[in-house]
Amino acid sequence: MKKINQVNGIPLHYARLTNHPYGTRGEQRDFLIEESFFKVLEQALQEVFENCPLGVPEVITTAGIFVNKPGQHGHGKAFDLDAIFWKDKTLVTMNFVHQKELYLGIESFLRKHFGIVLNYHYPNHKDHWHVDTSVPVDYNENSKSETLYLQLVLKHIYKEEILVDGIWGRQTAGVVKEVFNKLRINTPITTKKNYLQFLEITGKIAFKLCEEQISATHLLDNLTEVIEDLPEQNRITVREAFNSFLDHNDTAQWLNTIKEEHDIDSLIDSFII
């Protein structure tokens, strides 16, 4: 076990305290980590930030590495990533709903290094990614967390109509075939080489999408999703207030002037030769 307070020179902070609550930069701390796992973490974050258009961040907050409990945390071989802080931009994992492109870009590269990645849609992981190396990197149709990731990128990055339920079925299989064809990646996805190729190109496309100007209608869609995610007693009031804004004549006129231009196919083409 090794004591660390940074990864690749990026300070590791803790922000789950009354005076440093979740979502803030928190304060730098020492964390115990198993040495071979630390190497994987270094390589993974190196690749994430080499590809991420925002570059190397100033701070990463973690909910913990070595934790005295059963499982990979008990061996110092798991990492919980809460948030990433760049100079002018922050990704808080809890904000998945309106930072999907950046979130899924980062997760695509994390998955190239960690066999287990539990994300926002996985039960009890809305406020952090859990990553560990207890299983090898590959795609398993029975894995709920891998299928959730797959369906999320098919829906939000490749703009396919698909239900995100974590269950591999005929619909998911069909959409995978279609998207892999477009990307000119061989199937099946369960072959490690094909899966790694998919992760790499998906990460790059997601990062490209988060660099593009996001349209006002896309932001309104995000807002609608955030509202639908609220606890019921708040949801109804906020939804009604939002709808009366949308129904206003001036809003409706303004929305009619916005053209949604999103050509994912030509973006894909720019990534494959």
CB of 115 or CB of 155, closer to Zn ion: 115
CB of 81 or CB of 154, closer to Zn ion: 81
CB of 93 or CB of 95, closer to Zn ion: 93
CB of 65 or CB of 185, closer to Zn ion: 65
CB of residue 130 to Zn ion, shortest distance in Å: 3
CB of 145 or CB of 172, closer to Zn ion: 145
* Identified binder of Zn ion from the candidate list 13, 77, 125, 130, rule CB under 5 A: 130
Q: CA-to-CA distance for 107 and 103, rounded, in angstroms?
A: 6
Would you count residue 127 as binding Zn ion (CB under 5 A)? no
In the block, which residue shows the tokens 């070595």? 66
Minimal CA–CA distance to 176: which of 193, 25, 165, 194?
194
CB of residue 80 to Zn ion, shortest distance in Å: 4
Q: CA-to-CA distance for 270 and 265, rounded, in angstroms?
A: 9
Handedness of CA 53, 30, 127, 241 (dihedral sign): negative
Contact region with Zn ion (CB under 5 A), list: 80-88, 109-117, 190-198, 222-230: 80-88
**Beta carbons of 106 and 91 less than 8 angstroms apart:** yes
The pattern of x and - marking residues 28 through 67 that bind Zn ion according to CB under 5 A reads ----------------------------------------
Token readout for 266 is: 């030509």
CB of 91 or CB of 154, closer to Zn ion: 91
**Beta carbons of 122 and 144 less than 8 angstroms apart:** yes
Q: CA-to-CA distance for 19 and 150, rounded, in angstroms?
A: 37
CB of residue 82 to Zn ion, shortest distance in Å: 11
Q: How many CA within 13 A on the CB side of residue 136?
A: 9
Handedness of CA 194, 210, 215, 221 (dihedral sign): positive
Contact region with Zn ion (CB under 5 A), list: 16-24, 40-48, 74-82, 189-197: 74-82
CB of residue 232 to Zn ion, shortest distance in Å: 29
CB of 93 or CB of 151, closer to Zn ion: 93
* Identified binder of Zn ion from the candidate list 80, 82, 127, 200, rule CB under 5 A: 80
The CA-atom distances, in angstroms, between 14 and each of 64, 95, 236, 253 are 8, 18, 35, 46
CB of residue 12 to Zn ion, shortest distance in Å: 15
**Which residues in this chain contact Zn ion in the complex, by CB under 5 A?**
78, 80, 130
